[in-house]
Amino acid sequence: MRAILTYHSIDDSRSPISISPDQFLAHQRWFARRKVRVLPLADLLNHPAGGEDALANTFDDGFKNTLEPAASLLADGIPVSFFIVSRHVGSTNAWRGAGDPGIPTMPLLDWDDLERLKAQGAEIEAHTRTHPRLTSLSDSVIDEELAGSQSDLAARLGARASHFAYPYGDLDSRVAGRARKFFAHAYTTTFSVLGPEADPMLLPRLDMFYFRRHAGLETWGTARFSNRLRWIAAKRRIREFLTAKGR
């Protein structure tokens, strides 16, 4: 089994994008036991689907409170990748001036932080310039968000991002087609492990919000773990259906 894990903020707010520092530390201890291989994104995608179990760790948005936890993972030899909103580096996640409902406004990593993480081995990848809902934008503005974030990161960090995460998981075939112009791989919020024939522009991830309690990741590889994945995925599909129906 292969899977890509997603973290956002590490804080005690209990928000939909948060896990607590204690919960993250429990995850770190589980990674350190090396029962499952933790690989960089590109290595995971090239890892045989029928091979030994493996995962990759990703952090979306680049919250300041992830700096030390991520540095600790890297010091333990555990790879991490960050998806960064390039025009908000050193600012906050108030993407449209007031932020998203139910999500606390918090500081984001600055360029010095990103340079430090990159020097320690972190991969710094793209998450647009301003974190918009891409399906609402014209083709030219989508390209500005995608290519612009790639250019911003290259100018400041000296490396061209080849991986991209869709803000909010908001995409359609048009958005995915625009992403394909600039990136080798793009990541959704679809809650699933990686299948053997995963579309490189529609890669699923497991949001760690759902693994905040004891015996979450620790049950990896068991029937209990698989059943939990199916239950969470079904619940999310129902919620997405009801949300779309109510628009």
Measured from the Cβ of residue 112, the count of other Cβ atoms closer than 10 Å reads: 10
pTM of the full structure: 0.95
- Residue 246's pLDDT band, with cuts at 50, 70 and 90, is low
Residue 36 confidence (pLDDT) above 90: yes
Q: Which stretch of 74-78, 172-176, 212-216, 236-240 has the lowest confidence by average pLDDT? A: 212-216
**How confident is the model over 123-147, as pLDDT tens digits?**
999 999 999 999 999 999 999 999 9
Cα-to-chain-centroid distance, residue 225: 20
- Residue 215's pLDDT band, with cuts at 50, 70 and 90, is low
User: What letter would DSSP give residue 34?
Assistant: T
**How confident is the model over 80-129, as pLDDT tens digits?**
999 999 999 999 999 988 889 999 999 999 999 999 999 999 999 999 99
Q: What is the DSSP string of 102-155?
A: T----BB--HHHHHHHHHHT-EEEE--SS---GGGS-HHHHHHHHHHHHHHHHH
